[in-house]
Every structure is written in structure tokens, then in C-alpha cells.
Structure 1
Amino acid sequence: MVKLEYLLPLFLRGMPHRMTAWQSRLSAKIDQLSESLVEFRRNLHRNPEVSGEEFQTSLTLYQILGDLGLAVRMGPDGRGVIADLDTFDDDGSTAIALRGDIDALPIHDCKEVDYCSRKDGVMHACGHDAHATVILGAAQALQQMTRNGELPWPIRARFIFQPAEEICTGARDMIKAGALEDVSAIMATHMEPGLPFGKVGFRKGELTASCEEIRITIHGSSGHGARPYEANDPIAAAAQLINTLYLALPRVTQTHEAVVASFGQIHGGASPNVIPETVKLDGTLRTLLPQTRLDTIQHIHRIAEGIAMATQTEIDVQFELGTDAVRNDANLIDLLKESCVELMGMPGVYDIPRASMGGEDFSFYLDHVPGAMVRLGCATPGSDHWPMLHSTHFDIDERVLPFGSNLLARSVVAAFEPGSRWHQQLLTSRTSSHHDSPPD
């Protein structure tokens, strides 16, 4: 007889679904991999590589995935890896892709742990080491089930380990390298230190903001600091411009629409008593909706023209798109949410109330195929003041690694169940956009 003390935690967790035979086997495989996943992630954390330099990380992943027996290829310039698992007897299905990023940040690691970064000024402070580990765990478990004949039906999965997310070039490079060829959907996770382990954040539609770089050059005329009336001061114009933008943009944006404009760099002048000729400003613009983005850009141009006229300077404003907004596909969110409930019960589901104003180059994949990103709670439950993303003390509760692998792997298998609604919605409609070459 099953003791009540064993049943009680299931009721407290909201009764996770009883697992089928293949789901039980998958969970067992993931459990067996847990220690190796933790060690792999710690090795990446010790040896981080910034965007554009992910050569050793890519080579390590290439070797591991190749040893698994997956069809594996390197990304452009020896950075990034694409691996394929196909158990179909013919070419009758598209693949579902899982994406993890692999680059680190130029941040010094201040944690006192044995897996602290060994590179001064470089650190995995955004969880990319964990993202890559989650995808690797899913690949390992699914390949083991394939070798043992334990998959319930054929699947076709692609595992994308992407470089240069932090500088918004990696996704486009991997797409050009064929990462989305014959792919019908893509899924990813992101660490979320604002949620405890055991919670998964879901949101349909906009999850992150579009990110635009603002580059402004103000041309004036130089002069002596003691006689500003003889010059057209670009520093004074810059101060007016920044203040006016910060005050005016909220007044011309509808209250239910989110807009953030911030300047992080001001460059101008070489001497404290000389009014310079030129000042340069660099900032960021974040919006959620395409029309809001266009309207805000127009407002910024109009305000700059007014300040230029008032200060008798020339103000050149340029915008450079970093990433578009991540817009999650509703069907994929439902698929991932169902898998989460199977694993953790309804208490594991956290519905994200509003989009983040942060950016993610995962959005570039969504220009070509439906996709979804979920946020995995990675703080230890009960902890106070868990370090947030890009913190010098950022870390994760490492139980999130096997959980994330399980969540993604079972979602891939479930999507291929013959006759299921996921199979109908995600895999049977092979539109031309899945095969067109992406634009340069």
C-alpha cells in the first residue's frame, strides 16, 4: 500500500499528471544525466568566452555532440554548433529546433565558488552557460532513447548552440548558416532569477522588447569656455536634448504602451575650458509594438530638430536595430505549459503579467518560424536578494538544468505524437517560408 506521506506532496504541488511510459523513461534518463550536466555547466562557467570568441566552447560542444552520434556541423567561423537527430525513415517531417546561446559578458565574476570564472573580467552573468547545458541535456536524453528504441514515435529535432547573442549578431549568422532549414518551430529557455526554482514563466505574444541603438551627433562651433556666446555649444544642446527626450516621450506615448529611451554614453570635449566642436550620444530605445516604435522614432527626430534650431547646432540622429521583440507563438506556449504541468503541477506555472523591456536576438528566428521562449526560475526557493542577470554575483540553483532539459525534450516528443493537436498545428503545414533563404 502507498503511504499517505508519499501522496501528500503530490496534492500540495497541484497533482502533476501521471507520466506515460516514454515520459517516465525520459525523466529517468535526465536524472541519470543530472550530475554530468552540473559539471558541464560549471566547466563553461569557469571558462567563459565573450561574443565573437566562443571557439573553445563551440569545439567542446561539437565533440560531445559528435560522440553522441548526432549529425553535427560547426557554425560560421568556428563559432556555434548545429546538431540534428532524425528518426524518420524518410524526409516526411520538418524539425523542431531547440536553441541555447553560449557567449559570456565582459563582467568580472565576484562569486566565491570553486567554479568561479578563471578569466578576469569575463563571466557568464546572463545564464548562457545554463541555456547551453539545458539544450545539451535534451539532446543527450533524446539520443539515448533513440539508441535504445524507447521513443514512442519518430521525431526530428535540431539543437542550435548559438554564439554572439549579447551583441545581437549570432542568431542572424546561424540562420544564414542554415540553422532553420526544414525547421517548423523553435523553442528556447532563459534563466529567470526573479523566480524560484520550480516556477516557469509563460507569456503569449510579446515577451521582450525591440531594441534600437540611438546614435546622435551634435555639431556646433568651438570656443573659449569663458566666452560661450562666441560658440554654438554642442554640450549645452546635448543636455537640453536628453532632458527634453526624457520628459517629452512619456507625454506623447499612450499610457498603456511601454517605451524606454536611455542614454549610456556621452563623448565630447578634450579640455575643461574649451567648448568642443562635436558631441556624440549613444543610447537605447525599447518598445513592444511596431507602431509605437515608428511613432517614437518620429518624436525623437522632431524633438532633435527643435533643439537644433534653438541652439543653432546641427543634430544628426541615427537608429540601428539591435533586435525585434520576441513574440511567443500561442500554440508553442500551450505545449510547453502542458509539459510543465506534467512535471511540476499547476503551481509550477507562472503567467508573466507584462513583457520585459530587455532584448533577445531569439527574435530573429521568429521572423522565419513560430517560436517560444520561457523563463526558468533559477533562484533557490526561500533565498533573499538573489543576484539578478548581469550581476557580478549571478548564479543559478543547478536543479534547473535537468528540469529545463526535461521540459524541452518532452515538449519535442509530444509535438510529434501522431494525430495530436500539436502535430497538426506545428508540423503538418510546411509553408514556403520554412524553406526560403533568409534575407541578408
Structure 2
Amino acid sequence: MIERAWQSELAAMISAQEAKWIDFRRRLHQNPEPSGHEYQTSLAIYQELNSIGVELRMGPEGRGVLADWRTPHLEEVGQAVAIRGDIDALRIHDQKDVPYRSQCAGLMHACGHDAHATMALWATSLIVELDRAGALPWPVHLRSIFQPAEETCAGALEMISVGALKGVREIFATHVDPTLPTGRIGLRVGALTASCDAVRILIHGQGGHGARPHESRDPIAAAAQLINALYLSIPRVTDSQDAVVLTFGQIHGGENLNVIPEQVELLGTLRTLDAGVRQRTIDHIHRIAEGVQRATDTTIEVRFEVGTSAVINQAGAVSQLKCAIVESFGHEAIYEIPRASMGGEDFAFYLDHVPGAMARLGCRAPSLERAPLLHSPLFDIDESVLAIGARILASAVIHAFEPKEPHERP
């Protein structure tokens, strides 16, 4: 592994600054804000970026931040390459016994967004410092996107609506992964995560006395039949080579143990990796609901609310990430992800407009055989992953602007 001069400078900066950025991540971790309320988090990021002198814009309603850096004194650098870090937390109570545990009851960064934001912020700072020091090998144009509301699949669309991708030709992101040890970096061309649609089903019946169900049209009985039919039939009508997951996580209906209610509501998610499979599954859910509706003499409304499509990593962007990883950490750091995750990620919305890729960063301390998973109240990261993520993002952006013609490298 031959390290170029700018990489040596980058590595030295990272080593000198690591303590600062670990502290910044811990401050975010202690002060989580849920989707739609990321005001103080956005302000903290804005203030940090303002201190390094980049061009700044706030996101909608003061949530989220957009930052631009162009190599100075050049008339035209071209379109930007973007990096994205999400900033919202989850409504989960932090149960870790660490000094930096969440100070907000019922809220915590259980999906690593504090780490993602810190990596993107640190990478931005590194590129600016390298450029001002004259250490970059060629000019760059960086767009840094600090996005709210990833967990509700609303934030990416909000940021896109205010111009986050205007003038952007490519985008990169990271996501921590506690199933991999720190230092291992997962890459995959094609589908990385699943599409995720919210499913809302309303079953209208006729209420009555629990002792005389024959006088009512029981929506609870219809709900039981519908869930059972869907769970049994979806796998039987789906090609075994195609991934589909339908899960109901909420059932609401009734207020008294001896009263059959008028209505039951089911809430869940549908996850697929292929647009065609997605539509066929939606059609089949409607057909099953119609059948149960006739059999139970109820009225069933099925609604699919706005979700996110699958994250599809583009081959060229993955190649750029791989180059940055190999030059920084060697081939042995790369983990070829064998199959997509059925989790959802609204990074997919950016990829609907521009090519890009997301890398999964191992964040499990190597001394541990297992670590708490994402969305666990005990979730945490091995903080050395912050330096890895910042270096990958900064290096990928720099590589993206490497001239196509032969270039004398420093």
C-alpha cells in the first residue's frame, strides 16, 4: 500500500484531531432530538461549520444544514460531490451505563446518526484544512448534507426540496454496523437496503355485545383472519429467490373487554428489494383484503403511505469508495456484503436523482464477539470508527475529482 503525500497529511490531521471529534459525537449522543425536532443538533453542526468558513444554509424550518466548499481562487471546479450524515434520534430510552449516555429520557441515538453526522462534519473540516494548506492534489467542490428525519423517511425529501442535490453529480454516505468489527468496511454493488412502505389497514365492522357476536360484524375476527392470510399467502405467491417481508407492528381496536368494537386499525411495513416484486406484493395484499372483506362482511381499507425505495449502490461510486478504502486501510479492510439488508434507508431518495453509494462501517469493538444491535437501548459504537468514516468520506471526495488525464501525483 503506497500512501500519497496528501494521504499522509490527511492521516496526520486525523490522528491529531480524534479526541476533539469523539467529544463532539458524545455531545450529540447526550443531547438527542427525534425526527422533526432536530433544532439544537442542527445549530451545533451549523456553528461548527461556520467556524471553518464554509458556505452555509439551514434546512427547512431550521432543521438540517447544507454546506459547500469550493477550492478558492478557481473560476470553475464543476459540479459538487456530496456526503450525507443523518442527525435524528429514536424514541428509545438509553440504558447504557456510560458517562455520555442520553440526558433526554426516552430518546437516544440508537442507530448511529450521531456518528454519521460527526464523520461527515469531520470529513468536511479535513477537506477544507487540506485545501487551505495547499495539500490537496487537485481542486474539489464538496457539498455536505446534514439531514434530519431519516427515521421517518421525510428528511431526505425535505433537503432535496431546498436544493441539496442542485449541482451535485455524486453522493456518498456511511452507516455503522455493529455486526462487523471496527476496521471492516462493507461494500456492495446494487441493492444494499430494502424499499420500505408503511401499511395502514382500517377494518370497519359493526360493534356489539361480546356475548352475542352473531349480532355484530366483528372487525377483530376479521383482523385475525387477514393477518393470518397475509402471513401465510405472501411467501406462497412470491418467488423464493425474491425477498419480501411484511410485518405488522401495531394493532388498535376496542376499549372494553366485553364489547366488540366498530373498527380495528393495523399498522405495519412492507419491505422488498425489487420494484416489480414490490408492486406485485401490494396488488396481492389488496386481493387478500378483498377476500377477507367478503368472508367477514366487513369493510377493509388498505393504504400504502410514502416510504422509501431500495438503496441501490452504483458500481462506479462503489469503486471510488473501494479505492479510498484500499489506499487508506488496505484490501483486507473490505468486506463484500453477500446480500442486501431488509432494513430501510432514506438515502435511497438521493440515489433516485444522482449516482452514489453507502458503505457499512464495522463499529463493534474487536474484543467483543457480539454487540448490541441497531435500535437497541444498549447500542453504542467503538469510537475509533469515527476516524475511519471521516477518512473514507474525505478520501472518496478527493478521489472523485482526480483528473481523467495522466496526472503527476505528489
- Structure-1-length-normalised TM-score: 0.91
Contact map agreement 1:201 1:349 (CA 8 A) in 2: yes
How far off its partner does 1:420 sit? 6.0
Q: Secondary structure at the match of 1:376?
A: strand
- Inter-partner Cα distance in structure 1 for 2:261 and 2:34: 35
Q: Which runs of 4+ in 1 moved over 6 A?
A: none
Q: How does 1:115-126 map to 2 (within 5 A)?
A: 115-126=100-111
Q: Secondary structure at the match of 1:108?
A: coil
Correspondence for 1:313 among 291, 298, 323? 298
Contact map agreement 1:213 1:320 (CA 8 A) in 2: yes
Q: How does 1:38-437 map to 2 (within 5 A)?
A: 38-87=22-71, 89-419=74-404
Amino acid at match of 1:223: G
Amino acid at match of 1:57: T
- Inter-partner Cα distance in structure 1 for 2:65 and 2:77: 24
Q: Which consecutive residues of structure 2, in runs of 5 or more, have no partner in the other structure?
A: none
| 1:31 is the counterpart of 2:18 | no
Contact map agreement 1:33 1:137 (CA 8 A) in 2: no
How far off its partner does 1:53 sit? 1.1
Amino acid at match of 2:391: N
Amino acid at match of 1:358: G
Q: Give CA deviations for 1:372-398 in whole Å, capped at 9, x if unaligned.
A: 001000000130320110111111111
How far off its partner does 1:313 sit? 0.9
- Inter-partner Cα distance in structure 2 for 1:420 and 1:312: 71
Q: Secondary structure at the match of 1:68?
A: coil
Contact map agreement 1:201 1:375 (CA 8 A) in 2: yes
Q: Give CA deviations for 1:329-357 in whole Å, capped at 9, x if unaligned.
A: 11010110121112222221101111111
* Identical-pair percentage: 58
How far off its partner does 1:233 sit? 0.8
- Inter-partner Cα distance in structure 2 for 1:420 and 1:414: 13
- Inter-partner Cα distance in structure 2 for 1:223 and 1:395: 49
Amino acid at match of 1:169: A
- Inter-partner Cα distance in structure 2 for 1:79 and 1:156: 23
Q: Which consecutive residues of structure 1, in runs of 5 or more, have no partner in the other structure?
A: 1-16, 422-440
- Inter-partner Cα distance in structure 1 for 2:389 and 2:230: 41
Amino acid at match of 1:36: K
Contact map agreement 1:34 1:402 (CA 8 A) in 2: yes
- Inter-partner Cα distance in structure 2 for 1:170 and 1:145: 30
- Inter-partner Cα distance in structure 2 for 1:179 and 1:137: 19
Aligned length: 405
Q: CA RMSD in A?
A: 1.1
